Amino acid sequence: MITTPLHTTRLCLVTELLDEPFDEGMKVFSLNLARYLEQHVQMLAISNSSVPPATPATLSVPFGKSMLSRRLRAALRAFEPDILLYLPKSSLTAATFLRLIALNRMVPAARLAVIGLQPRQSGLWTRAFVPLLSSLHVFTQSMKAASAMAACGFRTSRVPPGIDIVRFHPVDSTTKAALRRKFGLRSDRYTVLHVGHLAASRNLETLVEIAARPRTQVVLVASTSTPQDAGLRTALSNAGITVLDRVVPQIEELYQLSDAYVFPVLDPTGAIEMPLSVLEAMACGIQVLTTPFGDLPQLFPSVPGVVFWRTTAELMRGLDALREEAPEPTGARRAVEYFGWDSAFGQLLGMLQAEAIQ
């Protein structure tokens, strides 16, 4: 067994997700992962983005979907990583496993790992990759996805959820009112928020019914990192919903000015398996109404102020019940207080390092 101290671990992160703007879940996860690794190991992040580096340890190297890039191979071999961690934009698709084979051949001595942030269908083709990727450790965001990968024969673990627990925090009623004035919102309305992609896969039509309720205002912050559905935007705006289709640097202020957060996504591929927006809303102490997405029901089975729903009727009943309560910080904040990025990525790094010294 190698006795190299853990702090000398050389880790290379390869990803297509380190380019601005960082206003959607995958990119936020990628940026915070790179920042954490940069502080705790000898780290090189390789991004195929041509924009300025996201972190000091990020190297911009153009590579295509096949990963067959001489510059990428040269960068990897020059760094000589002990661990090669791939965070793909496409999650755990067949193309991702083919890219992993290419990466493995570039630096065969490195331990190989991949993080899948969205669920993907696995089958016989997935099992076919197992003999070709014997050192691969697959990390997922839900137990269901982890079980599916393990059933195929891969060594699999779950990535703990994480958010910026300091940045996202509750505010008092005076601050809440001031923030509503800042964004041009009514201070005397029950305010419901959603943050995410402006796409049909998000089931955003649900927000229209909420906006039709008396003394209610709905705000949608739409990600600019992915294509926006213009027709859907028009329909939402015509329903009286405030649509902010621009980057909001202080996104925490939108959570803090709200009374409730609604996550209406039903499509498993409509968001990452552990939706950051739900955790951020909980950290800000506002009421949360969410579909039973990913591992959310298992992590938060009975949290005050958090309601799970499957149908629009259940959502409306839950909204009415929560609305009768005072819109003060709830037990939701306490439920996520230990889900900071340091804790999540510390556990991930610990698992990777333990394998690297075996």
**What pLDDT does 328 receive?**
59
CATH class as words, domain 173-336: alpha beta
How sure is the predictor about 5, in pLDDT bands with cuts at 50, 70 and 90? very low
For the record, the structure tokens of 174 come out as 């005076």
**What pLDDT does 1 receive?**
31
- Looking at the predicted structure, is the pLDDT value of residue 174 above 70? yes
For the record, the structure tokens of 118 come out as 């969205």
How far apart are the C-alpha atoms of 315 and 37, rounded to whole Å?
40
Question: Are the C-beta atoms of 27 and 225 separated by less than 8 Å?
Answer: yes
How far apart are the C-alpha atoms of 222 and 87, rounded to whole Å?
23
Helix (H) or strand (E) holding 156: strand 155-158
- Looking at the predicted structure, is the pLDDT value of residue 2 above 70? no
Burial class (CB in 10 A: 0-12, 13-18, 19+), 126: buried
How sure is the predictor about 326, in pLDDT bands with cuts at 50, 70 and 90? low
pLDDT by residue (tens digit) across 216-263?
999 999 988 888 899 999 999 999 999 999 899 999 999 999 999 999
For the record, the structure tokens of 300 come out as 């938060």
For the record, the structure tokens of 254 come out as 């939108």
Residues 6+ apart with CB under 8 A from 86: 13, 14, 15, 96, 99, 100, 103, 112, 113, 114, 115
Residues 6+ apart with CB under 8 A from 95: 65
Question: Are the C-beta atoms of 286 and 169 separated by less than 8 Å?
Answer: no
Helix (H) or strand (E) holding 211: helix 206-211
pLDDT by residue (tens digit) across 77-102?
999 999 999 999 999 999 999 999 99
Tell me how long the chain is.
358
**Amino acid found at 98:** L
How far apart are the C-alpha atoms of 283 and 234, rounded to whole Å?
31
DSSP 98-118: HHHHHHHHHSTTSEEEEEE-S
CATH code 3.40.50.2000 region(s) in the chain: 6-162+340-356, 173-336
Of residues 81, 113, 65, the one with CA closest to residue 350: 113
Cis omega (within 30 of 0) for bond into 21 = yes
Q: 53: which DSSP letter?
A: P
Query: What's the predicted TM-score (pTM) here?
Result: 0.92
- CA 141 remoteness from chain centre: 9
pLDDT by residue (tens digit) across 19-56?
888 999 999 999 999 999 999 999 999 999 877 778 88
Instruction: Give CATH for domain 6-162+340-356.
Output: 3.40.50.2000
- Looking at the predicted structure, is the pLDDT value of residue 329 above 70? no
